Structure 1
């Protein structure tokens, strides 16, 4: 084995964790650190930043590039498709309410579940039923017709599956609560990441590092103001009669304002962000008087003279279900939103998510064109390419 290959193998063996630094990724790829940085900056190698500002990548994404197939690197997902009815669905809904980091899509039947898997690219499927043969048959269909891995399928059946019907990798549980617990374990960040998050002065999602990858991919951090997001903030401020309205994005260390009405600053430390709590919700999060809430009473934006008093925000989710940011309104006096105002804020935040999904759809349409350009240097250089037969 050549010396370079031996060194790469040694590096590989030494890195037992699933999370790599840019330097480690560069070594395993056999490229310079600068080349690895360019892969990250260009989106070929998904990444995120730690609270200390250090770039990190997942080993599986490096492996995909080494295998020569970076285009199929899986994007992280926070979407969970559920096919279950009646009391079992209610049990799953109740148990999942404790984990708002994940977006649940309920399917009415098997055809709808297959369609949801194809369209939404979920992280996992929970499948419930009383007929083991039907369950095993549907799992086989999923394996044949979708890209969802078997170890991301959770079956709920009270009596379990007969040995001859067991499917390798598929987890079998006996209740909706067990299924949700298995889902949590499957989709959460690695334990060492979760342990580090316990020391932060604000709550973070179970899939925070995956959320940060999604945020990086959006390309919105430190980007220039855009009419679409500015309009959403303006509509929130005017329809809800608030002096301040913001579209916020939460990085590991900062709260960046993609759009802002009534506020001059462009960002704050993340520890100041009320939106840390908003992105942990599936609904509008509101605090009538920040100065009376133990979570916020010492916040610099609240404790200062003329500080903020009222806050309400709704999460903005991307196409993979991650709450990359929020739409919020702030007032200098304590107040309360009525039902119509709450629904208005949620609807405007949803529009922000629609814009993110449109941007991602445009990106996906452009990627094949870029690939064609790279494979056809004449066309890239502007040289006309004659049609076939000439």
Structure 2
């Protein structure tokens, strides 16, 4: 949803569509379209004109680039799914808006199954001795599985996703016993099927550094990973990252 932010810090001024267009180096009509689609967070004045803030344009200029905003605006998936939530019920990094734009631009969400990713999750389950392995992608609304083994569900609500914690890290995120962890003990995925106890996830970052999701393994019993199992998971995550679509802009995302 668009935020009406007429009041804000003096160092984050309000911009008109034409001012935003000059900064981005595109036509005013193009910025108007991006604002209407939700690719650029904005609000309407009483007179019906779109406004945004400098910080929102700076996020496009520096970490991801306007090209990714175009891709998000033209995405066949609803804009809301790729628009950062104002008060999410899950942890997010400061680059969440950029990350969601990059995910939309990747075209991976709701794409058909692919053998290259299916092989990776089968190998992840095998090398770690885990009954469940997933390539999980995180929109603002859901956790969607590009590839999965040992789990029937194709997706879950985003607020249930252990992977929301994992994508904030630059190293493996491991939960040895979810039922004893205050962050997850009440989670429906712990309380009910598949009754997660053990989780290990590695962030999957595109070429610009955006964490689109994770490669993760899950067990129904508390456990630890041996060093060789963890290394195998890391190696497979590296392979998965090589298979991700190239981002449409070369600038690196330093956020999170």
Q: What TM-score do the two structures reach when normalised by structure 2?
A: 0.67
Once the two structures are superposed, residues 118-164 of structure 1 have per-residue CA deviations (whole angstroms, 9 ceiling, x without a partner) of xxxxxxxxxxxxxxxxxxxxxxxxxxxxxxxxxxxxxxxxxxxxxxx
Equivalent residue number for residue 57 of structure 1:
39
Matched, 1:289 2:177: yes
Equivalent residue number for residue 257 of structure 1:
145
Equivalent residue number for residue 267 of structure 1:
155
| SS of alignment partner, residue 241 of structure 2 | helix
Separation in structure 1 between the aligned mates of residue 169 and residue 156 of structure 2, nearest angstrom: 21
Equivalent residue number for residue 204 of structure 2:
316
Separation in structure 2 between the aligned mates of residue 244 and residue 337 of structure 1, nearest angstrom: 14
1:29 is displaced (CA, Å) by 1.0
Once the two structures are superposed, residues 67-86 of structure 1 have per-residue CA deviations (whole angstroms, 9 ceiling, x without a partner) of xxxxxx968349xxxxxxxx
CA, structure 1 residues 74+325, in 2 after alignment: closer, same or farther (shift >3 Å)?
same
Identify the match of residue 108 of structure 2 among 220, 223, 236: 220
Alpha carbons 1:77, 1:321 under 8 Å: kept: no
Equivalent residue number for residue 29 of structure 1:
29
Once the two structures are superposed, residues 292-317 of structure 1 have per-residue CA deviations (whole angstroms, 9 ceiling, x without a partner) of 00000000010126611110000001
What's the C-alpha RMSD, in Å, of the aligned pairs? 3.3
CA, structure 1 residues 303+13, in 2 after alignment: closer, same or farther (shift >3 Å)?
closer
Separation in structure 2 between the aligned mates of residue 238 and residue 13 of structure 1, nearest angstrom: 53
Once the two structures are superposed, residues 17-49 of structure 1 have per-residue CA deviations (whole angstroms, 9 ceiling, x without a partner) of 97xxxxxxxx94189x9xx5xxxxxxxx6x9xx
Alignment of 1:300-311 (within 5 A): 300-304=188-192, 307-311=195-199
Once the two structures are superposed, residues 304-362 of structure 1 have per-residue CA deviations (whole angstroms, 9 ceiling, x without a partner) of 26611110000001000111110000101110011111111111111111111xx328x
Alignment of 1:190-201 (within 5 A): 197=86, 199-201=87-89
Equivalent residue number for residue 127 of structure 2:
239
CA, structure 1 residues 292+226, in 2 after alignment: closer, same or farther (shift >3 Å)?
same
Structure 2: gaps of 5 or more residues: 1-13, 21-26, 42-59, 66-82, 250-256
Alpha carbons 1:317, 1:350 under 8 Å: kept: no
Q: What TM-score do the two structures reach when normalised by structure 1?
A: 0.45
Larger radius of gyration: 1
Matched, 1:332 2:220: yes
Separation in structure 2 between the aligned mates of residue 267 and residue 217 of structure 1, nearest angstrom: 20
1:58 is displaced (CA, Å) by 3.2
* Equivalenced residues, count: 196
Separation in structure 2 between the aligned mates of residue 30 and residue 334 of structure 1, nearest angstrom: 52
| SS of alignment partner, residue 58 of structure 1 | coil
Matched, 1:76 2:36: no
Separation in structure 1 between the aligned mates of residue 242 and residue 138 of structure 2, nearest angstrom: 19
Which structure is higher in helix share?
A: 1
CA, structure 1 residues 58+335, in 2 after alignment: closer, same or farther (shift >3 Å)?
same
